[in-house]
């Protein structure tokens, strides 16, 4: 069992670079690549968020969409392609798509928040985390509660997001019914659209309620300075952003920026 000192449960505020900091000027068009992650690490970021898909032959790659087309010049579903074919593709016409193993190898001191984007990624991710002895360096979430639950059974001591069931329970006031079965955090947007209706999920009062229930709160994806200040004032424990440069400025101004990486 992984001890509760898992990096995502430490008391310090967590600043997390979403897809490596997708809107950082140097990262435009190259999200979720080694170059993008390196640019955020150079800013001092220790926590990196990324997405995980499985190739047809069972390898894991850091990529957001199921299809390659949005950020490459190739049309094709990752789940239908072998790793060798995916390796030939370039993000933004220049950067290769990294494997999860390459992330751990390239950034041995970083901590990774993995979003399981496909059912075939669950077991391979557990094996990779175990192989790299990275249990204290990861948090795993998904929009699929089934994937989160499967991962928890495989690695019950690894920190996971409570998932959509937990968020729904919080939204209707039943937060104490959330039982992640191990160390867990709420990773949640301020609001979410359901059937065309924008529903506010997070308020200052709900942050307090989540804390009373014993969970930490990470909010995504926040790219506006005033919103960052508001959420910090509410007492959230972390912010996920596409603008790591901006979040660093906000935290520095408040005397909250602390990093063991980069500057």
What is the H or E stretch that residue 1 is in? none
77 is catalytic: no
Structural tokens at position 31: 């999200």
**Distance from first CA to last CA of the chain, Å, rounded?**
33
Q: Are 27 and 42 in contact (CB under 8 A)?
A: no
Give the gyration radius of the chain's Cα atoms: 18
Task: State phi, psi for 90 to the nearest 5 degrees.
Answer: -125, 130
Structural tokens at position 105: 């190898």
DSSP 115: E
From 59, 64, 211, 218, active-site residue: 64
What is the H or E stretch that residue 120 is in? none
Q: Determine what percent of the chain falls in helix, strand and coil, rounding each to the nearest 5.
A: 35, 20, 40
64 is catalytic: yes
Specify the pairing of strand 47-54 against strand 216-219. unpaired
d(CA 49, CA 242): 10
Q: How far is CA 193 from the centre of its chain?
A: 20
List active site positions.
18, 64
């Amino acid at each position: 069992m992984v001890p509760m000192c898992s990096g995502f449960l430490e008391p310090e505020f967590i600043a997390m670079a979403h897809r490596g900091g997708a809107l950082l000027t140097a990262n435009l068009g190259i999200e979720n690549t080694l170059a993008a992650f390196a640019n955020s690490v150079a800013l001092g970021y220790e926590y990196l968020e990324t997405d995980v898909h499985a190739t047809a032959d069972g390898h894991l790659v850091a990529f957001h969409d199921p299809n390659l087309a949005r950020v490459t010049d190739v049309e094709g579903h990752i789940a239908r392609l072998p790793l060798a074919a995916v390796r030939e593709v370039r993000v933004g016409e220049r950067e290769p798509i990294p494997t999860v193993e390459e992330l751990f190898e390239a950034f041995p001191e970083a901590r990774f928040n993995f979003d399981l984007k496909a059912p075939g990624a669950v077991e391979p991710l557990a094996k990779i985390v175990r192989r790299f002895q990275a249990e204290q360096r990861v948090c795993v979430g998904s929009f699929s509660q089934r994937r989160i639950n499967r991962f928890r059974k495989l690695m019950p001591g690894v920190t996971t997001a409570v998932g959509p069931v937990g968020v729904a329970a919080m939204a209707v006031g039943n937060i104490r019914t959330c039982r992640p079965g191990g160390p867990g955090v709420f990773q949640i947007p301020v609001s979410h659209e359901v059937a065309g209706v924008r529903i506010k999920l997070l308020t200052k009062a709900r942050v307090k309620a989540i804390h009373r229930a014993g969970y930490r709160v990470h909010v995504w994806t926040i790219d506006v300075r005033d919103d960052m200040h508001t959420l910090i004032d509410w007492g959230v424990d972390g912010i996920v952003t596409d603008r790591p440069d901006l979040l660093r400025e906000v935290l520095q101004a408040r005397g909250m920026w602390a990093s063991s990486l980069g500057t």
